[in-house]
Structure 1
Amino acid sequence: MGLELARLTGAALLDNHLINDPVFAAFGADGVRPLPPEVWTYTRQVRDVVLAAVAAAPPEVSHIFTMYLGRGEREAAFVERFRGLALARGAQFVPVWLDCAPAELARRMDRPERRERLKLRDPAALSRLLEDVGQQPAPADALRLNTAELTPARAAQIIAGQLPPRPGA
């Protein structure tokens, strides 16, 4: 969906795997074996560099961020960090929360693109993650989409419909 939204809007897609995959690859991630906790120290450093680059980017460049946010203060702080970054750049901030039934998420885990992107592919690990960590509640201003029955293209169209027209478009 992120790729489709980037195509529709012309925004740069900075998804969590763009940030995580260099670190995941260095640790030999395969989407099945658990990652050691120190992985997240390195991914935070990469994310900080990417966000600094976004802050310095030309104002006409828009950005799409995607990431899983579990429950917790640190994850809630990510939302506010992105909101503050958008405000500092004079950009619109549109938080989008994607919901999908765990059974449907588990069904999608064997897709080839998940293997290519070093994404989690173990349904039991997904179940534990959702049970133990859950999902960060959506902020009041979030657009909520249930993606269980939406194609990525349709979800991207709905999100793009919430955005102001691009200058010159």
Structure 2
Amino acid sequence: MSHLFFLVGPPGSGKRTVGLHLARLTGAALLDNHLINDPVFAAFGADGVKPLPPEVWSYTRRIREVVLEAVEAAPATQSHIFTAYLADLPEEAGWLDTFAGVAARRGASFVPVWLDCDREVLLDRMGHPERRERLKLRDPAALSAFLDRKGTLPAPAGALQVDTARLSPADAALLIAAHAGALF
């Protein structure tokens, strides 16, 4: 059976890094949020520091829709890993249903995973060099204000919660794969 892993966490929680390890363990294709967002971010001159204009999200939403269509058309044996930050806002909760619906239409097992991480660790991770390369948020003050304003959507019932401040990315991926019964 194929799996659709949905790794959710705030910026800096290690979604992509854990996703890379999980892809190696399971053979799943990693479709992280920056794969979807970066073409639009680059077009708008994103640097990870200056705020993005609100209209970028209408463009990234369209790209995400096309990627989800492709996933639905992919071979039934192919597993996928998506990553996302979901704010604690009513309109964000719908994304969980969107990804669960894609999994159901593919006959894949839906595996929602919430990556938790202490705020101090998140703020410290903003300075990591790979964040600049990937057009990711790099300003600790902006992240702190962002999380104060929007929070993170609480994990739904049944979601696996993983503390990425206390587990290495490789161990977190192993825990997720074991939880899903998805190890090679």
TM-score normalised by L of structure 1: 0.96
Tell me how far 1:164 sits from its aligned partner.
Answer: 2.5
Residues 29 and 58 of structure 1, relative CA distance in 2, 3 Å threshold = same
**1:70 maps onto 2:115 in alignment:** no
Q: Unaligned 5+ residue runs, structure 2?
A: 1-17
Percent identical pairs in the alignment equals 65
**Structure ranking higher on relative contact order (CA contacts 8 Å, 6+ apart):** 2
SS of aligned partner of 2:111: coil
Distance between the aligned counterparts of 1:115 and 1:165, measured in 2? 32
Instruction: Identify the match of residue 47 of structure 1 among 57, 64, 68.
Output: 64
Q: 1:12: which partner in 2?
A: 29
Return the structure number with greater strand share: 2
SS of aligned partner of 2:181: coil
**1:36 maps onto 2:35 in alignment:** no
SS of aligned partner of 1:94: strand
Distance between the aligned counterparts of 2:25 and 2:128, measured in 1? 24
Q: 1:116: which partner in 2?
A: 133
Q: 2:112: which partner in 1?
A: 95
Q: 2:39: which partner in 1?
A: 22
Q: 2:165: which partner in 1?
A: 148
Aligned Cα root-mean-square deviation (Å): 1.0
Distance between the aligned counterparts of 2:100 and 2:110, measured in 1? 6
| Structure 1 stretches of 4+ moved >2 Å | none
AA partner of residue 90 (structure 1): G
Q: How many positions carry a matched residue from both structures?
A: 167
Tell me how far 1:74 sits from its aligned partner.
Answer: 1.8
**1:83 maps onto 2:100 in alignment:** yes
Tell me how far 1:163 sits from its aligned partner.
Answer: 1.7
Q: Unaligned 5+ residue runs, structure 1?
A: none
